[in-house]
Chains A and B, each alone.
Chain A
Amino acid sequence: MTDKYDAIVVGGGHNGLVCSALLAKSGKSVLVLEANDQVGGAAITREFTDGYSVSACAHLLYQLQPSVRKDLKLKPQLVADDMTTIALDEDGKHIRLSGNSVTGVSDDDASSYRAFHKRMTRFAGLLNTYFNKAPPRLGPMDLSNLVLLGRLGLSVRLLGKKEMREFLRLIFMNIHDELVERFESPLLKGAVSLDAVLGTHLGPRSPNSILTYLYRLAGDCGRVALPAGGMGTVSDELAQVARSAGVTIRTGMPVKRIVIDNGRVAGVETESGERFDSMTVVSNADPKRTLLDLVGAQHIEARFTHRISNIRMRGNAAKLHLALDGLPTIAGLTQDDFAERLVIAPDEHYVERAFNPAKYGQSSPEPIVEMTFPSCRDASLAPSGKHVMSAIVQYAPYALKGGWTDAARREFEAATIRVIERYAPDIAKRITASELLTPADIESEFHITGGHWHHGELTMDQLMFVRPVSGAAQYRMPVDGLYLCGAGAHPGGGVSGAAGRNAARAILGREKAA
């Protein structure tokens, strides 16, 4: 006998959990099937070597949507809720960015940064209002759709004439030009460039990189938080909320296919051969995996298939985890400073140069690095007196020419260590174990196509109305009963939960209308 649910959510990532919890709260019976042994998708904590744990993929909490927090009454336990970013300088003249202030730069730069940050935060806030709704459709002339479109236009106009003009100009621009116009400090330009391009296939000179920067600021005004016990605890809390709302969560249950019967969704079948029935299947998997692998092209139409297969989602960000027998030494940093977010991006050209090889399927010989030493704040992650480092290292293209062979991995890890050594000369001596996750590893461990943590590049041609693809931006896929609730849908990546929440609302809204 098969179990029948009102909805089945494929994948227990944070968006899947948010979506399932909201559906359950509205009285639906919901089953979440997670392939891995723990929920959380790319937001998990796991031990990578004896006694050392890290947030295995996403490692900082940027933008958990306030609306999601409110709806689910989440109270994530944080060991830091507003980390300072320290942009490292080889000579120890680091600069520190926190909120709208930056220290270690000229007064001119500091005041320009305040103005810059204020404006960017304002624009990011505008974006964020769009994040909490499904994008309107462009074609239909029905009233509710027109109202949505009108509101969208109005919210831009409400910025006022001058700011609106600035917004409409900036969102198309590259971050490089804006930084060069405003700042002198190479380190400041480097640090902001890094924020703009982390997790994308863009360099600071690529148009669109201001938009990705705004994306980073959206949600929580750019505040960077560190959850106690790693990102896994955020997912655990979400799972807890979902369970108490009545959601059934089953882990270790990879879904083999979404069952389509007579042109509509009928349930799912797991790798182990179990079948679960439901007229509604919500996929937290990325759009390519969902539609091409789990549903299959024979159940969808050709141009849609083509568009899905053309989504650009080839990751560039690798994770490097180090087990350290003690903190390294960095000139000009105190012990406490290691608890902050450290970035290596000495100037904007450095970041661009790091990007260049990625265009040709090569990894950066001198990558950009975002480092955290979460054990400084959270002793549970490493044995006493020892530390872990969790770093995002870019660019390590998914489709590396020649593939991610052992030699290629060693080369990239060595390049990363060499770059870190410029600041922390004793880092190599401190390492007792390491783990490198290339985008290819992220793909196989977290089942994200291309290892792209946003489930698709956050460029204008893949956002809003056209995310994941033209004509399917309202969470409903063109198979009756099938929904997308992951980062591949609007508004995209980051541990924000917005896509999951919007999807849940689309599912429930539709039922109301019917």
Chain B
Amino acid sequence: MSVQHVPLGRLRTPFYERMVKLDTLNTWHEWKGYSTPDALYCAETEYFAIRNATAVFDLSPMTKYRITGPDSLAYLNRLVTRDMAKVKPGRVAYAVWCDDLGQVLDDGTIFHLREGEYRLCSQERHYDWLITSAIGFDVTVTEETADIAGLAVQGPTSYSVLSAMGLDGLGELKVFGLMHFDFEGTELMVSRTGFTGDLGYELWITADKAEALWDALFAAGQIFGIRAIGVHALEMSRVEAGYLAAYQDFLPAKATVRNGRTRSPLELGLEWLVDFKKPNFNGRRALAEEKRRGSTWRLVKLDIEGNKAAHHSYIYEKSKNNRKEIGFITSAVWSPICKQNIAIGTVKMPHGAPGSTVWVEIYYQREMHWNRAMAKAIVVDKPFWFPPRRSATPPGPY
């Protein structure tokens, strides 16, 4: 028999050739087997493309599953904590799913493409869990990660760019809505979603049309300051928006070895996604019990004094005397647009109530020498960056 050997080394996404043409830095890293750029020109510049013009980020390595079949709604409703019956065709839901112990496996977006047909999109892979969860349901779960190319088109001029590209009617699309367009005879799906907290869209198309889509997009975007970006810029914007990243702000429960290192949705500030009115969903019994007994951890968004980013810092209750660690920082960044030193962290309950003060131990290096500073931090309960344009419908021509 002839064997199709698997490719070794890093894979290239459908947009790889296009990105390489724009790349000036040659710093790439691995993302689920694919090469993905840290930055293509300058992370700062790319960040401001997100906040000031239009940034394009290659989402293709995101894991995608298509879920179809008569039981698809019942299936999803058992899978995720929120009520999917409320998510009508043409809508997208941010969702979180748990194991039986109520610990988060991952978060992601579920696109209700057409009646009874869904796409689940997440950072981590879940085929094993999705198939395991399908026991007793008449559904089909198909992985389509490599088949579907994805681009995030984010920033205040993104609507203008897409309109210039000829996507008519996009103005009516609300946040967390999706629309289908024809692109050169192929279906192009556009959703008003993103990981930046700004006005923005995500474009999804079969891999064979990826480069044509890229070319059309960049041609239309030329006059609106369009720029391809890498992960660093995206990371800055997602912390500003207060979004969580797997393996950073939480660990997927299935891959966690040590007891107590996982988190429940309640502990990640995602209680709004947990619908106890649903009679059964995965983790419901454990989460109901947690709600009754109280959680162990709390996710906090911190506004920290000074300007030294608090990477990997311990969080303390007090700055002096009886200093007690109450948690640690999981994501930190200096926000160029808010001019704030911001971070996401996890603290033991009952610490970290919104409005309360905690202390953060920051280590920073200046010309080889390390310095340590204790910085005061306020717990905030809103995203750091949440502009009205994010949800304005129709979006303005910025």
Contact = CB atoms under 8 A, between A and B. Distances in A.
B136 A301 contact: no
Nearest to B285: A478
B79 A302 contact: yes
23 contacts: A260-B279, A260-B280, A261-B279, A262-B279, A263-B279, A263-B284, A296-B136, A297-B78, A297-B135, A297-B136, A298-B71, A299-B279, A301-B100, A301-B280, A301-B282, A301-B285, A302-B79, A302-B99, A302-B100, A302-B129, A303-B100, A306-B135, A309-B135
Interface string B170-214: 000000000000000000000000000000000000000000000
Given A262-B279, A263-B279, A301 B135 contact: no
Interface residues of B, number: 19
A88 B285 CA distance: 56
Nearest to B75: A298
Interface string A280-309: 000000000000100011111111111001
B287 to A, nearest CB: 11
A261 B279 CA distance: 8
Nearest to A470: B100
A296 B279 CA distance: 14
Interface centre among B129, B279, B283 (most CB of A within 10 A): B279
B133 interface: yes
A262 B133 CA distance: 20
A289 to B, nearest CB: 13
B137 interface: yes
B132 interface: yes
Nearest to B283: A301
A302 B279 contact: no
Contact of A301 (B75, B137, B284): B284
Contacts of A261: 279
B74 interface: yes
A292 B285 contact: no
Contact of A298 (B99, B136, B284): B136
Contacts of A262: 279
Interface centre among A296, A297, A299 (most CB of B within 10 A): A297
Interface in B278-293: 279-280, 282-285
Given A301-B280, A302-B78, A305-B135, 12 more contacts: A260-B279, A292-B135, A296-B136, A298-B71, A298-B74, A298-B75, A298-B136, A299-B279, A305-B133, A305-B136, A306-B132, A306-B135
Q: Which 5 A-B pairs have the closest CB atoms?
A: A297-B136, A263-B279, A302-B133, A303-B100, A301-B100
Contacts of A260: 279-280
Interface string B69-94: 00100110011000000000000000
A477 to B, nearest CB: 11
Contact of B99 (A264, A303, A478): A303
Contacts of A264: 279
B210 to A, nearest CB: 34
Contacts of B283: 301
A298 B132 contact: no
A48 to B, nearest CB: 36
A193 to B, nearest CB: 37
A261 B132 CA distance: 24
Interface in A251-289: 260-264
Contacts of B284: 263, 301
Given A298-B78, A298-B280, A303 B132 contact: yes
A400 to B, nearest CB: 24
Interface string B328-360: 000000000000000000000000000000000
Nearest to A263: B279
Contacts of A304: 100
B132 A299 contact: no
Interface string B122-137: 0000000100110111
Contacts of B282: 301-303
Contacts of A302: 78-79, 99-100, 129, 132-133, 135, 282
A306 B135 CA distance: 7
Nearest to A471: B100
Interface in A181-198: none
Nearest to B97: A302
A261 B136 CA distance: 18
Contacts of A292: 135-136
Given A303-B99, A304-B100, A478-B285, A263 B132 contact: no
Contacts of A478: 285
A335 B282 CA distance: 63
Nearest to A293: B136
Contacts of B75: 298
Nearest to A297: B136
Interface centre among A260, A298, A299, A300 (most CB of B within 10 A): A298
